[in-house]
Each structure stands twice: as C-alpha cells, then as structure tokens.
Amino acid sequence: MSDCADMNTVLVTGAAGFVGSHLCEALLARGHRVMAVDNLSTGDIDHLDRLLGHKGFTFHRRDVCQEPTPEMAQAGRVFNLACPASPAYYQTAPVDTVLSSVLGAWRLLELAQHSGARLLHTSTSEVYGDPDCHPQHEEYWGHVNPNGARSCYDEGKRCAEAMLMAYHQERGVDVRMARIFNTYGPRLRPGDGRVVSNFIVQALQGEDLTVYGDGTQTRSFCYVDDTVRALMLLMDGEHLGPINVGNPGEHTMLDLAEVILRLTGSRSRIVFRALPRDDPRRRCPDITRAKSLLNWEPTVDLEEGLRRTIDHFRGVLGERSVTVA
C-alpha cells in the first residue's frame, strides 16, 4: 500500500444510493472516515442528510467515470456501488449504465493499483441472467441475453467482474467481489421499478398491485442491514469472491403481493400484466460460500423487513397514503 493510503479512510462510490447510504452509516459507526462519491443521477442526497455534518464524512458530487482525484487515493479501502440498479432507470439510460459499470470499475482499479487500496466491487445476481441452474451458485456461468433490454446492466456487471479478475491476476490488485440478490429496505424510492417498492407504494395508495406474468416467478429478498453486514465482512476478509449475498428464502411474486397487502391492511386488488422480455423465472442464491468463508447469513426475516420498509414508505408518501379502516 502506498504511503498516501489510509486503512481507516474508506471511499464509497454510489454513496447516495439505497445500499450505499446504509453502508456509509455502518462505516461511520465503526469509526471510519468516509469519502462519499455520487453523481446523483439515481442517488438521493437526502439519504445522506444525517451524515453531512459528521466530522468523519465528506461528500463529493462526482461521476465514477471521471478520473479519480488525489484525495480519493488516500482511501485504503474502496467500496464500488456506483451503477444504476433500478430497471426503470437503466433500461432508459443503457449507455450510462454500461459506462458506470465498466469505465467506472476501470477508473477505480487504476486508482487501487496505484494507491494499493483494496477494492470491493458490488456485482449482482443479474450476472446469472434467466438461470437454468437453481439455486444459483458462484461457479454457474449464467444464461444471459447479451442484446436484450436488461443487457446493459447484466453484461456491464459481467464485464466489470472480468476486469477485476484481470487486474488481480496480471497486476496484483487486491479485489473482492459480491453478487447481491434483491436487497430491500428503507430508502428504496417510489417508482424505481423494483418489485418491493412497487407493491408497497401501490398498496399504500390504494392502487392495483401489478403482477407480471402469472406471479409464479420467484425472487429472494435480503434486508439491507444484512447485505451491508456481508459487504463489510467480505471487505475485511481474505476471500476474493465472487460470493453470493442474498437470502435463500424463495418467494413467488404472488406470495409477496399477498404478504404486502396483509401487512399494509390495503384493499387493493392484484392485477396481472404481460411478463417483460428476459425477466428471470427463478432467482435464489446458494449462500454456502458466504456461510463457510464469511460466517454470514441473513438474520432479518421477510415479514419483519417488510414492516420496516412499509413504515419508511408511510413516512415518504405522507398524506398520499390511503387510510385503512
């Protein structure tokens, strides 16, 4: 590690995003100095409101695709979360999405090579595509459409993983890779296209809950606190990855809709729409590697996590929420 890099100083890109803001809070609570970077294209500066006056926290509005500043080279550890994760955004901004994944990762790898920092890259379960292997384990190569509506995100993340391995093998850069499965919790944003936030907002506003396909497709939902804990363990450990970070509990979309209706007390109906192209039929992580190498598994069950998330959205929506008798 270079003389300018400090192990107690942590750089977080995508810091104003949903997961990034929770990660910043956890790092500050552990006594780190945090440099937060976000261009606010999909992040929300309000997510960092409670941190902006903290003496150990600085925020830089900056695109990860730009050349890093000399100050960023002071960080001994780098968490890269800079990429749109909302389908509602990345499918309308595919060029920006690819660039943030690929060019952004390259910029940070160059930074890490010269400063000696350790770089943790957040990849995604989307690298598995519409899997024909279930549950998905890290050795599975995936089943991805390279030219589809989701490819800007799927293939961008796959390319970033390849780049991390190339820098590690050829240039000795210290890297870590996490493949995140469907994280949810407070600070998801209304209208972001993710199923948990979509269903909760629709239920609270008395609108129909939109289920695509017949509702039998599955996802596995991991509460944000559990995801952040896994990322920190991976960064602290000696295991390169990739390591799946997700909750192995598998739920159909129809089941999720019914649970949210019950927890909100909403009288909304469930309606069905055509399944989008390339939408995965099943998604569930094998977390054997995370259990054995990180001693990690999720601790927040779905109903408890949904209650906390619903409470968050009641506050966000305010008077727009329906009152349920």
* Segment 72-106, tens digit of pLDDT: 999 999 999 999 887 778 888 899 999 999 999 99
The two structure tokens encoding residue 105: 């990762």
Is pLDDT above 50 for 319? Answer: no
Banded pLDDT at 325 (limits 50, 70, 90): very low
DSSP alpha helix (H) spans, 32-130: 87-90, 94-115
Banded pLDDT at 322 (limits 50, 70, 90): low
What span, in angstroms and rounded, lies between the C-alpha atoms of 21 and 297?
A: 21
Is pLDDT above 80 for 5? Answer: no
Mean pLDDT of the chain: 94
| Catalytic-role residue among 90, 128, 153, 223 | 153
Is pLDDT above 90 for 324? Answer: no
Q: Is the dihedral of CA 263, 250, 156, 27 positive or negative?
A: positive
Query: Are 227 and 179 a contacting pair, CB within 8 Å?
Result: no
pLDDT attached to residue 43: 93
Query: Are 126 and 148 a contacting pair, CB within 8 Å?
Result: no
Query: Are 123 and 179 a contacting pair, CB within 8 Å?
Result: yes
pLDDT attached to residue 49: 95
Is pLDDT above 60 for 245? Answer: yes
Is pLDDT above 70 for 321? Answer: no
Banded pLDDT at 304 (limits 50, 70, 90): very high
Q: Are domains 6-183+222-245 and 185-219+249-319 of this chain identical in fold?
A: no
pLDDT attached to residue 278: 76
Banded pLDDT at 301 (limits 50, 70, 90): very high
Closest among 28, 26, 10, 73 to 185, alpha carbons compared: 26
Whether domain 185-219+249-319 has CATH 3.90.25.10: the reply is yes
pLDDT attached to residue 323: 42
pLDDT attached to residue 72: 96
Chain centre to alpha carbon of residue 267: 31
Domain locations in the chain?
Answer: 6-183+222-245, 185-219+249-319
Residues whose CB falls within 8 Å of the CB of residue 292, separated by 6 or more in sequence, listed in order: none
pLDDT attached to residue 7: 80
Question: In which residue are the tokens 């469930």 written?
Answer: 270
* Segment 30-77, tens digit of pLDDT: 999 999 999 999 999 999 999 998 999 999 999 999 999 999 999 999
Dihedral in degrees, nearest 10, Cα atoms 261, 321, 47, 86 = 50
Query: Are 241 and 180 a contacting pair, CB within 8 Å?
Result: no
What span, in angstroms and rounded, lies between the C-alpha atoms of 162 and 72?
A: 24
DSSP class of residue 323 equals: P
Looking at the chain, the whole-number percentage of residues with pLDDT higher than 70 is 96
Q: What is the CATH number of domain 6-183+222-245?
A: 3.40.50.720
Peptide bond into 70 cis (omega under 30): no
pLDDT attached to residue 270: 97
Residues whose CB falls within 8 Å of the CB of residue 45, separated by 6 or more in sequence, listed in order: 16, 38, 59
pLDDT attached to residue 199: 97
Query: Are 203 and 266 a contacting pair, CB within 8 Å?
Result: yes
Tell me if residue 212 is catalytic.
no
Q: What is the DSSP string of 241-263?
A: --EEES----EEHHHHHHHHHHH
Looking at the chain, the whole-number percentage of residues with pLDDT higher than 90 is 87
Query: Are 234 and 120 a contacting pair, CB within 8 Å?
Result: yes
* Segment 100-159, tens digit of pLDDT: 999 999 999 999 999 999 999 999 999 999 999 999 999 999 999 999 888 999 999 999
pLDDT attached to residue 4: 57
What span, in angstroms and rounded, lies between the C-alpha atoms of 107 and 176?
A: 16
Q: What is the CA radius of gyration of the chain?
A: 19
Residues whose CB falls within 8 Å of the CB of residue 78, separated by 6 or more in sequence, listed in order: 10, 11, 12, 13, 108, 111, 112, 117, 118, 119, 120
